[in-house]
Structure 1
Amino acid sequence: MNNSAGPLRPTKFAEHKLVSSILDGTYPPGSTLPAERALAGELGVTRPTLRETLKQMETEGWITIAHGKPTLVNDYLKTGGLGILSTLTRHKGYVPSAFVSHFLELRSALMPRMALFAVWEERDSLLAYLKEAEGLDETSEAYVTYDWGLHLILADLSGNPFYRMILNDFGEMYLHMGGMYFEEEAHRRESSAYYEALLEAVEAKDCNGASEVVRQTMEQASALWKSMVGT
């Protein structure tokens, strides 16, 4: 929770506390939540606020509400959608290393195709962005911001809006994890080489070559992460 953004609205406050309790095992999948009065007291919110929160969480797939029965905590990785992904990335302390590995695998599958169509559809716009890499400050913040921006521009220029919608849910997690990754000078050098190789392919109007550069880089990053965390 980012305190600089001010206090959370009551429903968001309740959601944050309740999701944290689900993720830390207080209310694991298959368990039931306390009765409304008790749960509202536990969370420190009014019962109307709790009802609104629970309805939203049911929509995302966290829980199942049944009239006259206790509220059931779902196996959210099976019942949830992109809304759950977005919520999970805001609870970094509970994101397992396997979750990051799964994201990197998804990225490896999607990004090469984004690159292919970005070069095909909007080569000049991509070229302009890649040339900005030449002036990057030697800081973790500069690199992670630029790198995530490259993800987003590839998604935007591909012409498929679903790519951007998927990536949006991972932005906060990526900036957090990537910030640590780019603390290493060697990782910044590797990424600089990636940007240069991609720039060369785009300048040559080589759609397939650009896609291959992205594919190799994404797969190498995924393998590196798995070796680091032992997954």
Structure 2
Amino acid sequence: MGLEVAGQSHVGAIRKSNQDVVEWQLSEAADRALLVVADGMGGHQGGEVASRLAVDAVMDAAGQALACTPPDAPDHEIRKILDRSFVLANDRIKARRAEEPGLEKMGTTLVLAWVSGSRAHIAHIGDSRCYRLRKQQAVCLTRDDTVVQNMLEDGSITLADVPHVPFRNVLTRAVGSVDEAAPSHRTEILEPGDALLLCSDGLTDSVSEERWPGIVHSHDGPASAVQALIEAGLANGAGDNVSVVLLTLE
């Protein structure tokens, strides 16, 4: 099975700075890939610093491991690599917070996908998401670490109430602001024709996920599909930075 990957981050239609960072790495044989999206918080400078530190840490840890880890490595070994990436990202952000005044409130969401053949290992903290697109359906594979998600699950609010909750984007966990960065994990089996999409909330808040499969499948390759998704967000007045990394499986 061959993998193709593309990604892009855009400041959006309203924001003046981009605190999102995206990155990806594809093996030489195009049979393994690492996808990363981070959405920083903590003010203009802090958010940019936190997301950049986190993504660089992931590429230093998991990115280097991708080249030397066999495609048939067991699931628990992959989870260890992803866990180490989160710990390194958390430690680097906390160290920078401690040494530089003005950055003491910074942190970031972080979502990763390690894809080996048809097997996708997903890890995340925060509310940046990972979706599997299959035919005309987009399925979210992550759970938001937010106050609103907790309220939905305990029945305090319904989905219809979410747009009216003033603190709907408040995180309950963020990399750089937790003592131990233990991500949530999920393993997913992909099929030929599937796509794996990682994104920040700038996309989910501006383009209905029901539209994504049609946009992706109507374009030839992930690069043009990513561009189309971001353009759709901008056309809808995206109020936040819009970031997407897309992997297709043939």
- TM-score category, normalised to shorter length: under 0.3
Q: Say which one has the larger Rg.
A: 1
Answer 1 or 2: which has greater helix percent. Answer: 1
Which fold has the larger relative contact order, with Cα–Cα distance below 8 Å and residues 6 or more apart in sequence?
A: 2
TM-score normalised by length of structure 1? 0.28
TM-score normalised by length of structure 2? 0.26
